Amino acid sequence: MFKMAVNSNDAVALLRAHGLKITKQRQEMLHYLSQFQHSYIDVTAVDAHMRAHFPGMSHNTIYRNIKDFADLGIVEQREEGDHATVKYQCDFEHPHHHHFICRRCGKVLELQMCPLDFFSQQLPDCEIDSHNFELYGLCAACREQAADFS
């Protein structure tokens, strides 16, 4: 059996609840992705990892599973330029959340509040049906390293 992160039970329960089988391939993908709760990884790296472990697995199957995982809230996806990145859900109890992302090391920190109310108040006659909020900068460790080089 594959060793998975603490939240793997939540992920497996979500897969089962939506009628998806718990295959060796999905278990390995969950295990691999669970290493990326605090940083995004390029989807092509996930594809390479899976095809190294399961040479007969198609690109379409890998990408479809990533999409299924994203639709179920197991992973979070985002676009960076012309490529997609993904990270394992960092908070299964509060799937709606936002991030600070370090531009230097890629570390992702979860924000504890949603700014939607602030914007809703500024748009009283509008209906907001979706949003995404990310802050970018340098984490404390990277700021310290940058200061050491100054």
Query: Do 43 and 86 form a contact (C-beta atoms < 8 A)?
Result: yes
Q: What is the pLDDT of residues 82-129, one digit of tens each?
A: 889 999 886 656 567 777 888 888 888 878 787 777 778 888 888 887
Query: In the chain, what percentage of residues exceed pLDDT 90?
Result: 39
pTM for the predicted model, two decimal places: 0.73
What is the phi-psi region of residue 88: left when phi exceeds 0, alpha when psi lies from -120 to 50, beta otherwise?
beta
Q: What is the pLDDT of residues 55-80, one digit of tens each?
A: 999 999 999 999 999 988 899 888 87
| Sequence ranges of the binding site for Zn(2+) | 102, 105, 139, 142
Please report, for residues 31, 62, 94, 98, 117, the alpha-carbon distance to residue 87 in angstroms, rounded to integers and kept in the order given: 12, 15, 15, 13, 26
| Sequence ranges of the binding site | 96, 102, 105, 131, 139, 142
**β-pair partners for 78:** 85
- Complete domains list, the chain, with CATH: 8-88 (1.10.10.10), 98-148 (3.30.1490.190)
**β-pair partners for 42:** 85
